[in-house]
Chain A
Amino acid sequence: MVLLFNIIFQVSDAISFLLLSAIGLAVIFGMMRIINLAHGEFITVGAYGTVVTAKMGLPLPMAMACGVLVTIIFGFILERLIIRYIYGRPLDSVVATWGISLIVSQSFLIIFGPSIEGLKSPLGSFQMGDYSFSEYRILLIFISFLILVLLYFLFMKSRFGTLARATIEKPITSSALGVDVQKVYTITFCIGAGLAGLTGALYIPTMTCVPSLGQAFIVSAFVSVVTAGASPFIGLVPAAAFLGSFQTGITFFYHATIGLIGLLFAVIMIIRFLPSGFSGLIKKGK
């Protein structure tokens, strides 16, 4: 019983980590085909925004909201200055966002130094048999699920969602029907940035606060989005579920390093034998 609970916890924890790592990247890639190599830095911005405002005395949830807000503003400015000029140019977007990533991480190093004092992990932990579980990480599992539900309603059921899906499918026709495509892109980019910021805000209490902290999410983020395929909106959940279970399984029987190697191995196999990713698989099944 305890063992079963532990397995469910470990798997859900791994899946929610993959999901939260990838969600901002997936929204921006799925919507605008921008491969955002500065994704990790967006996460860093959210994390620092949270830590700095928390140190100023804000309660943690408020500080996290500030972290998200700062990242949205950061994303908005970047979109206005750079990103909007490279829509429809995926390769250029790689170079441009890589440049942004370098500038931002070095700026953090200059402004904040090699590390700042982090936050304590909120909530406590409880014991079950031989295992101890962090309550905060269990909360994160529920939060990641909640975010997915909210995003589903935003993109599938809201008026903005209709505009966004039309714009993804046929941007030129959408504009000829009166959709302000540019505005839809700006809003979506800010949503993607805000989600990345939220990831940083949510995980920073469990991490040390260094300028390169975003890098911890990059591998998970990119493997999830790559295996999700061309339509990350459809493929992300199954991709994260598969990769998370696989990684936890191997970690369980061997150890964490082997688990990570196994994860990357699985990704290579998926790319090799399922080149259109999980979304391709789902679309074919329909």
Chain B
Amino acid sequence: MGLNNILEIKNIISGYGTTNVINNISFGINESSILAISGRNGVGKSTLLKTIIGIVESKSGNIFFMNKNITKNRPTERSILGIGYVPQGRDIFNSLTVEENISLPAISRRMKNLKNELEKIYSVFPILKEKRNDLGGSLSGGQQQQLAIARSLIFNPKVLLLDEPSEGIQPSIVSSIAEKIHNIAIELKTAFVIVEQNISFISKLSCDCFIIDKGVISSKISSKDFSDVDKARKALSLEL
């Protein structure tokens, strides 16, 4: 942790009603780096991301983004500051076209030259250009996942929070999404926090991975241990 961390979480406690799901988690992440977060079902991985974007309020602790304390900011404000969020299950707008889905964050920011930005996105996700006028709800799961990522990339976020991007997607597309994330992190200097249970997906990202259990970070696995899938599986299954 240090001043150059783009996103820093300090002693966060959060949950629903009176139950705490996240019990004191701290970590930081640098510009254009990738961090994976894993753990069993229901341990609070999604809740952690929701707390960072602000959909779930933190009960104590602080969240810093670009050295600014955003703990009290609303989700809208955090998003405008430059945090992207792709929820689990993707939450595509069924009644909006593909292009409207992608444009939404840009419109809410009154971004100029939307056309240019759209072309950039379409060059990364050609399938979305083909389907630009279809309704979001008519896309397949893998296409919706790409759409959800594209929708968050349109405003060049500094940090992108991804919740289980590989869920329900065929292996070949999983690896192409992993590749795209890797390229985006390098080219656009975007940092990623990726909640993921798919081991081969994590190993393709070659990043560190935190394991969450009982609302705390129970262990950290370094990218070296993910260098091959078998090793990674071993490391994770020991932890899970």
Residues of A with Cβ closer than 8 Å to B? 159, 162-163, 165-166, 168-170, 172-181
Contacts and interface: CB of A to CB of B under 8 A. Distances in A.
A176 B79 contact: yes
B139 to A, nearest CB: 15
Interface string B52-76: 0111000000000000000000111
B161 to A, nearest CB: 9
A208 to B, nearest CB: 43
B135 to A, nearest CB: 11
Interface in B122-165: 151-152, 155
B181 interface: no
B74 A177 contact: no
Contact of A162 (B79, B107, B109): B107
A177 B94 contact: no
Given A165-B95, A165-B96, A169-B94, A174 B74 contact: no
Interface stretch (B10-18, B40-48, B85-93, B186-194): B85-93
- Assign chain B's interface to a size class: 20 to 34
Interface of A: prevailing SS: helix
A169 B85 CA distance: 17
Q: What 4 pairs across the A-B complex have the smallest Cβ distances?
A: A178-B79, A173-B91, A178-B108, A179-B108
Given A165-B95, A169-B94, A176-B55, A181 B76 contact: yes
B55 A163 contact: no
B109 A178 contact: yes
A168 B96 CA distance: 11
B85 A176 contact: yes
Given A162-B107, A170-B93, A178 B155 contact: yes
Contacts of A181: 76
Contact of B108 (A168, A169, A173, A180): A180
A159 B94 CA distance: 17
Nearest to B49: A176
Contact of B104 (A168, A172, A177, A180): A177
Contacts of B85: 176-177
A66 to B, nearest CB: 30
B105 A177 contact: yes
